[in-house]
């Protein structure tokens, strides 16, 4: 697999966070992973008291996708990994991940997340 460029995604809000990056023309609330590709998480910074969740789905094209939480990061924290955490593998091309605020405070959270898309090409 070819290593990808590490992308820094930014976002803020409550509920599902819209993510933006200098390569995106508009913010997105989920990021799809192409068939045969994967996404690795290098770090995440959470500014705000509520925790955030990294969630994945096997089919973002479904009318109501089922999202599964694979990581939860406490509020007001920074997590950096010495080795990246593989968060998603594109088996069918319908997989996606998103960032969700899991809080009862209802206060906005700001996040910076570093991910590495890796291609099978």
Residue boundaries of the structural domains of the chain: 7-118
Whole-model pTM over 0.85: yes
Question: Is it the case that residue 1 has pLDDT exceeding 60?
Answer: no
Largest CA-CA distance found in the chain, in angstroms, rounded: 44
pLDDT tens digit sequence for 81-106 = 988 888 889 999 999 999 999 887 77
pLDDT tens digit sequence for 39-49 = 999 999 999 99
pLDDT tens digit sequence for 10-55 = 999 999 999 999 888 899 999 999 999 999 999 999 999 999 999 9
The side-by-side arrangement of strands in the sheet containing 52-57 is 31-33, 95-101, 52-57, 68-73
The yes or no reply on domain 7-118 and CATH 2.60.120 is: yes
Distance in angstroms (rounded) separating the CA atoms of residues 58 and 94? 6
């Amino acid at each position: 697999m070819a290593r990808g460029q590490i992308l820094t995604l930014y976002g803020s809000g409550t509920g599902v966070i819209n993510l933006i990056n200098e390569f995106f023309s508009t913010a997105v609330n989920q990021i799809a992973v192409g068939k045969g590709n994967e996404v690795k998480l290098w770090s995440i910074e959470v500014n705000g008291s509520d925790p955030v969740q990294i969630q994945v789905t096997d089919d973002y094209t479904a009318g109501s996708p089922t999202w599964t939480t694979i990581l939860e990061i406490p509020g007001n924290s920074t997590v950096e990994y010495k080795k990246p955490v593989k968060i998603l593998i594109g088996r069918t091309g319908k997989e996606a991940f998103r960032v969700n605020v899991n809080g009862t405070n209802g206060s906005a959270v700001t996040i910076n997340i570093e991910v590495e898309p890796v291609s099978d090409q």
